[in-house]
Amino acid sequence: MSILDLRIDPDRLRADFEDIASIGATGEGGVTRLALSNEDLAARAWFANRIEDAGLVLRDDPIGNISGILPMTASPTDRSLLVGSHLDSAINAGRFDGAVGVCAGLECLRTIQEAGLRLPVNLEVINFTDQEGAWQSMLGSRGLTGRLGDLTANRDTETLSAFRAALHRTGIIVGDLHEMYQATRPPEQVAGYLELHVEQGARMYRSGQRVAAVSGIVGRTTYLLTFDGVAGHSGTTALDMRRDALRGASAFITEAHDTIAQRFEGGIFNCGKVNVQPGKFNTIPSRVTVLCEVRHPDETVLEHMEAHLLGMAGNAAARFGLTLTDRRVQHMPAASMSGAMVGHIETACARLHLPRPPHLLSYAGHDAQMLAPFAPTGMIFIPSIDGISHNPAERTDWEDVVLGANVLLHALIEAAQNA
């Protein structure tokens, strides 16, 4: 059989996919596998078993990334070409997000192994820790690439204690958070990174595209905004004496959505979490915290959006006699995919007699965003039905998953041959 005819085993991939989808399955057909939760631990154990079943070399690192190596060179710890994604999920999220990339990566390695293909670099399928940010977004890929920054910055003591406890419970660290900095690999040890992922948007589904090459990933900045007013009895505090933190926060949320949509083309705003204190129906809210984010493919425009957002929050606070405190919780810089990797994906599509894949920008963050400045990185997108994601109704046609896995297989072989 020619290498050109090599294909993954769709039934074996499907069995793995269904297995992982059953871990943390929710009533509505989604999954909840928050990083370091019991469900995530079960998924990790399952993945380690699958790696060993496949005869790959199991590897883990001090930040909990789990990988399986198909050795091609003298030692399994030599330089490797990474392929994978993440098995953790958001709350009651979709079964495809992340899991498709890990399962397909594993299936690619098994397929190459069974074909007896010799390549000049080790292949390594990897499950990155906490991509979704139950604790800290893209923790594993940041750790591997030396981009952890200060793990304690902008976090309160309680959150850090809980984080440490969760890491201890999983056995990822036994002492201090600092142990995780040991996960960083020298860049020369990583030949590249490929990730297959569902688009999570509706562009491909709407236009009938089945495979796309990601050109870049938008930058994202998360803010925690705190509006502080004065509590008071809602019945007796005269209107002119009220400093209602929720009025300021609500006005800001409404205005931010309207303004970002109008002024910043390609910009995204979301406010996903609001906390109201003291939280009683008959007490004027004294403090409201708003967790929100902005995204844009251009770092300069993103900075502009951030400044505009803080200005709007400040104005809303001033209008209702509130004080505003802002905390830039996290910044994920915009990233470009490697031209070489995009080329390998195009080559793979050509081999599979597919049209030349469109180049799409990703509006979601991915581990590839962290790998991109570190090693040649490429991403393959397959369509999400109706663009639904982070929702139990997230779906991708199974045929597209198989097709994406085969594109991944050939892109991986191409990348390895050119590594």
Residue from 270, 315, 323, 336 touching a copy of itself (CB under 8 A): that is: 270
Q: Contact 60/102 with Cβ under 8 angstroms?
A: no
Nearest in space to 100 (alpha carbons), one of 361, 404, 370: 404
Exactly one of 3, 153, 261, 350 binds a copy of itself (CB under 8 A); which one?
261
Stretch that binds a copy of itself, among 55-63, 121-129, 146-154, 250-258 (CB under 8 A): 250-258
138 is an interface residue for a copy of itself by CB under 8 A: no
Nearer to a copy of itself, 32 or 111 (CB): 32
- CA–CA separation, 115 and 123 (whole Å): 14
Tell me whether the omega of the peptide bond preceding residue 278 falls within 30 degrees of 0, making it cis: yes
The DSSP code for 358 is P
Q: Which of residues 92-121 bind a copy of itself (CB under 8 A)?
A: 92-93, 97
CB 288 within 8 A of CB 221: no
Amino acid at 136: Q
Of 122 and 200, nearer to a copy of itself (C-beta) is 200
> Which residues ranging from 345 to 384 are in contact with a copy of itself (CB under 8 A)?
362-365, 384
Residues 244, 346, 367, 400: which binds a copy of itself (CB under 8 A)? 244
Provide the 3-class DSSP secondary structure of residue 166.
Answer: helix
SS (H, E, C) 329-360: EEEECCEECCHHHHHHHHHHHHHCCCCCCCEE
272 binds a copy of itself (CB under 8 A): yes
Which 273-312 residues touch a copy of itself, going by CB under 8 A?
273-274, 276, 278-286, 288, 291-293, 295
Check: CB of residue 288 under 8 Å from CB of residue 273.
no
Piece of 5-13, 120-128, 227-235, 345-353 that binds a copy of itself (CB under 8 A): 227-235
Query: Is-contact 209 381, C-beta < 8 A?
Result: no
Task: Give the sign of the dihedral formed by CA 112, CA 117, CA 121, CA 122.
Answer: positive
The site for a copy of itself (CB under 8 A) is made up of 90-93, 97, 132-133, 199-203, 218, 220, 222, 230-239, 241, 244, 246-247, 249-251, 253-254, 257, 261, 268, 270-274, 276, 278-286, 288, 291-293, 295, 362-365, 384, 386-391
